[in-house]
Amino acid sequence: MKIIHSIEGIRAVRSGYSPQSVGFVATMGYLHEGHLALVKQAKRDNERVIVSIFVNPKQFGPTEDLSRYPRDMERDFALLHTSGVDLVFVPDIETIYPADFQTVVEVSRITQTLEGAHRPTHFAGVTTVVAKLFNIVQPTRAYFGQKDAQQAAVIQQMVRDLNFNLEIVIGPTVREPDGLALSSRNKYLDTEQRAAATTLYRSLKAAEGLWESGVRDGNVLRQKMMDVLSAEPLARVDYVSAADPATLVEYGSTVPAGSGVLLSMAVFIGQTRLIDNFLLAVREGE
Ligand code: PAF
């Protein structure tokens, strides 16, 4: 496995891979089984796999956790080596954002709701760095997790709008046995908070139960999630949502026939902000 820090270095190795297919997993490091599941899928689909590790300052707000974001590069390298990755790109900040950097890649509408409404500069930071990484790595396919549902939708929109010549693959959310979605931020939770954090999954399950019993009222679905979350004293809700999976616009009292729903939420457990979601489809014949 090669570890490369420079753009020229990546370009040189990448051109040696052609015409083989290249799968790409962009990460901010501190890897967990969710990342490794994406790597595994990339290995299955492609002849070569490239992973990037870059904690992107542009996607963190001024009061967010950039400086304390967990890092463990040696462990990450060992995991990627064991997973059979060919190349790891580990740029430093000046490589990605040189002093005269002045471009922003921004997707407009679907970044206005949910995470975008609560983290106004976040998605422009994500799309700017992902666009750069796509241009540097030139992957055949790029893999992102469903855990970050809106990020996945925003990146797909950017790829369509800007005609990036690659396929986006969305991998399922990987969970702990008790349902907690894997996230590098779970490391911040103490024992009591870790137990409380299952409230996100439990609230999604409760709303899923309503959906499966035929409830098609966005207000009722949101209220169900709120009821479960409110019962957890350590949880502070940032938002809950029952939205159209394509536009991410909230459903009102009726979900249009034939439409699925994206149930999603952001919840603080102590100082740690966790997100989770279920993407629910309509039943056959509905
Ligand atoms: O999902 C993440 O870890 C980041 O948002 C990404 C896609 C690596 C961009 O920095």
pLDDT by residue (tens digit) across 40-55?
A: 999 999 999 999 999 9
Distance 127 CA to ligand 1 centre (A): 9
pLDDT for residue 282: 87
Q: What percent of the chain has pLDDT over 90?
A: 97
Pocket test for ligand 1, best of 30, 64, 130, 144 (most atoms within 8 A of CB): 130
Residues of the chain with CATH 3.30.1300.10: 184-280
Pocket test for ligand 1, best of 24, 25, 28, 65 (most atoms within 8 A of CB): 28
Distance 255 CA to ligand 1 centre (A): 31
pLDDT for residue 2: 98
- Catalytic: 35? yes
Q: What percent of the chain has pLDDT over 70?
A: 100
- Region 136-147 average pLDDT: 98
Q: Is the pLDDT of residue 212 over 90?
A: yes
pLDDT for residue 133: 98
The catalytic residue among 5, 35, 81, 122 is 35
DSSP the chain: -EEE-SHHHHHHHHHHHTTS-EEEEEE-SS--HHHHHHHHHHHHH-SEEEEEE---GGGS-TTSSTTT----HHHHHHHHHHTT-SEEE---HHHHS-TT--------GGGSSHHHHHSTTHHHHHHHHHHHHHHHH--SEEEEETTSHHHHHHHHHHHHHHT-SSEEEEEPPPB-TTSPBP-GGGGG--HHHHHHTTHHHHHHHHHHHHHHTT---HHHHHHHHHHHHHT-TTEEEEEEEEE-TTT-PBP-S-PPTT--EEEEEEEEETTEEEEEEEEEPPPTT-
- Region 10-21 average pLDDT: 97
Q: Is the pLDDT of residue 283 over 90?
A: no
- Nearest atom within ligand 1 for CA of residue 148: 1
Render pLDDT for 91-141 as a digit per residue (tens, 0 to 9). Answer: 999 999 999 999 999 999 999 999 999 999 999 999 999 999 999 999 999
* Fold classified for 2-171: Rossmann fold (3.40.50)
Determine the CATH number of domain 184-280. Answer: 3.30.1300.10
Distance 102 CA to ligand 1 centre (A): 20
Residues of the chain with CATH 3.40.50.620: 2-171
Residue nearest to atom 7 of ligand 1 (CA): 26
pLDDT for residue 172: 97
Is the Cβ atom of 56 under 6 angstroms away from ligand 1? yes
- Nearest atom within ligand 1 for CA of residue 56: 10
Is the Cβ atom of 111 under 6 angstroms away from ligand 1? no
Render pLDDT for 154-197 as a digit per residue (tens, 0 to 9). Answer: 999 999 999 999 999 999 999 999 999 999 999 999 999 999 99
Is the Cβ atom of 146 under 6 angstroms away from ligand 1? no
